[in-house]
């Protein structure tokens, strides 16, 4: 099979709209604004979804910025299920509830989408090492994809990351550093170090090439709904990468005429790290927060920075909505999803569902609409005390008694 050509044409500043060639550049040299990738929209309109070919993330290579197929690193990411959840929908009283379950990615999280394009970008621009500051998921994902591509990775991991995340990072990275404090404390210093080009920027703050991998969420949801996407998409927001990328994907699909309308976007945050929610509700600009620990470790960013501003802009332009959930509500949603639909997602992953449950309870959303919640991580990386390990010794009679009693309940 012939590899699909990338339709990426240029980088464009989201603030002043100046455009630049496809080099490794993180900001607009004219105004300092963030950059986004632009594609040949005329070709997308003319060719339609026939541009897509193959499976997994690189099925969407036409709308990703990696020109050389040799650079398209993969561990089999993408092709995650879009799960119809009729029992949970009935319990919540909504017409239709779909979950885009990203826990089936190779490292168990949505990060694999952006890690694939980030590490591909490192290869494309000739860097030999990658680095990221992580609460856990991005660290193990960047480490795994870097190893897969034969690159070194310098992973900075949050000291309170769950034990399974720690084990995973330590196993896959070439250089592992544990940091004290929250993400915001380190990311400012690290972002400045990025300028020295010692490593490829695999952080969530600025790199358009990395960011772009998550755009495939929109393409996958569109394809999985026969290009008639749900009315509403609920996406989690830490610094805003997943939210912005998904919104951009749907905007591109709409511009190319592949979908007739753009879903409404809901930004979901942990109540303990809700800077975007506060600013949106107050109608103000973003005010960074000093935050502590939240069980939604991947959402623990008190200062979403310029992507937070970008998220707010998209919310305001697109008539979006926001919501946040307390840790207890997130854990309750985690257990409810597991029991009702058999989907075991981590707290970071299930926060968006907890937010939707709240918005339905307060009638801030219309239950007659169709909803898709992006559930970003597996529950297998969750750290929690196990159920009681006290075992029962059986003989034939006591076993029969227990089985008949339990099933009669
Ligand atoms: Zn600019």
- pTM score, whole prediction: 0.96
Strand partners, 180: none
Residue 89 confidence (pLDDT)? 98
Calculate how far, in angstroms, residue 19's C-alpha sits from the geometric centre of ligand 1.
8
Between the CA of residue 205 and those of 197, 296, 315, what are the distances in Å? 16, 19, 18
Question: In which band, very low, low, confident or very high, does the pLDDT at 224 lie, cut at 50, 70 and 90?
Answer: very high
- Tell me the CA–centroid distance for residue 358 and ligand 1, in Å: 38
Please determine, for residue 26, whether its predicted confidence score (pLDDT) is greater than 60.
yes
Burial zone of 185 (CB within 10 Å; 0-12 exposed, 13-18 middle, 19+ buried): middle
How confident is residue 246, by pLDDT bands cut at 50, 70 and 90?
very high
**Mean pLDDT on 269-280:** 97
Q: What's the CA gap between 249 and 374, in Å, rounded? A: 14
> How far is ligand 1, taken at its centre, from the CA of residue 228, in Å?
34
Mean pLDDT of 300-312: 94
Note the pLDDT of residue 152.
Answer: 97
The residue-averaged pLDDT of 176-199 equals: 88
**Surface-to-core class of residue 379, CB atoms within 10 Å of its CB (0-12 exposed, 13-18 middle, 19+ buried):** buried
Of the chain, the percentage scoring pLDDT greater than 90 comes to: 89
DSSP-derived letter for residue 386 is P
State in Å: Cα 31 to ligand 1 middle.
4
Q: Is the pLDDT of residue 1 over 70?
A: no
46 vs 135, residue with greater confidence: 46
- The pLDDT, as a whole number, for residue 20 is 98
Q: Calculate how far, in angstroms, residue 301's C-alpha sits from the geometric centre of ligand 1.
A: 25
Instruction: Average the pLDDT over 362-383 and give the result.
Output: 96
Measure the N-to-C terminal CA separation of the chain; round to a whole number of Å.
56
107-159 per-position pLDDT tens digit: 999 999 999 999 999 999 999 999 999 988 999 999 999 999 999 999 999 88
Q: What is the DSSP letter of 106?
A: T
Count of Cβ atoms closer than 10 Å to residue 357 Cβ: 22
Q: What is the pLDDT of residue 2?
A: 67
What was the pLDDT predicted at 158?
86
Average pLDDT in the chain = 95
Q: pLDDT tier at 181 (50, 70, 90 boundaries)?
A: confident
Give 160's pLDDT tier (boundaries 50, 70, 90).
Answer: confident
Mean pLDDT of 317-328: 97
pLDDT (tens digit per residue) in 290-299: 998 899 988 9
- CA-CA distance, 245 to 40, in Å (whole number)? 18
- In angstroms, what is the span from residue 80 Cα to ligand 1's centroid? 35
Query: 269 pLDDT exceeds 60?
Result: yes
């Amino acid at each position: 099979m012939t590899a699909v050509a990338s339709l990426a044409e240029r980088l464009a500043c989201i603030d002043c709209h100046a455009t630049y060639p496809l080099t490794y550049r993180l900001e607009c040299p004219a105004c300092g604004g963030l950059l986004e990738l632009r594609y040949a929209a005329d070709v997308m309109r003319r060719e339609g979804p026939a541009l897509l070919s193959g499976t997994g993330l690189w099925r969407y290579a036409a709308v990703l910025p990696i020109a050389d197929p040799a650079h398209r690193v993969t561990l089999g990411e993408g092709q995650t299920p879009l799960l119809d959840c009729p029992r949970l929908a009935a319990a919540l009283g909504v017409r239709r509830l779909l979950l885009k379950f990203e826990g089936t990615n190779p490292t168990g999280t949505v990060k694999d989408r952006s890690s694939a394009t980030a590490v591909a970008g490192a290869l494309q621009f000739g860097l030999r090492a990658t680095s990221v500051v992580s609460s856990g998921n991005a660290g193990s994902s960047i480490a795994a994809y870097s190893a897969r591509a034969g690159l070194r990775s310098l992973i900075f991991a949050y000291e309170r990351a769950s034990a399974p995340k720690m084990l995973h990072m330590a196993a896959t990275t070439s250089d592992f550093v544990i940091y004290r404090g929250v993400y915001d404390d380190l990311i400012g210093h690290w972002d400045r170090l990025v300028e020295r080009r010692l490593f490829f920027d695999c952080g969530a703050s600025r790199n358009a090439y990395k960011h772009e991998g998550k755009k495939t969420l929109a393409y996958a949801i569109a394809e999985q709904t026969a290009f008639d996407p749900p009315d509403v998409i609920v996406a989690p927001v830490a610094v805003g990468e997943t939210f912005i990328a998904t919104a951009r994907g749907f905007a591109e699909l709409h511009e190319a005429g592949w979908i007739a309308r753009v879903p409404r976007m809901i930004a979901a945050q942990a109540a303990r790290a809700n800077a975007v929610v506060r600013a949106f509700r107050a109608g103000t600009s973003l005010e960074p927060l000093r935050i502590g620990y939240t069980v939604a470790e991947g959402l623990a960013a008190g200062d979403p920075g310029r992507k937070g501003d970008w998220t707010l802009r998209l919310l305001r332009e697109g008539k979006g909505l926001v919501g946040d959930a307390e840790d207890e509500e997130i854990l309750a949603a985690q257990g409810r999803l597991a029991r009702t639909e058999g989907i075991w997602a981590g707290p970071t992953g299930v926060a968006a569902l907890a937010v939707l449950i709240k918005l339905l309870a307060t009638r801030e959303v219309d239950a007659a609409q169709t909803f898709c919640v992006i559930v970003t991580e597996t529950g297998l990386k969750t750290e929690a005390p196990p159920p009681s390990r006290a075992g029962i010794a059986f003989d034939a009679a006591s076993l029969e008694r227990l089985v008949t009693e339990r099933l009669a309940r």
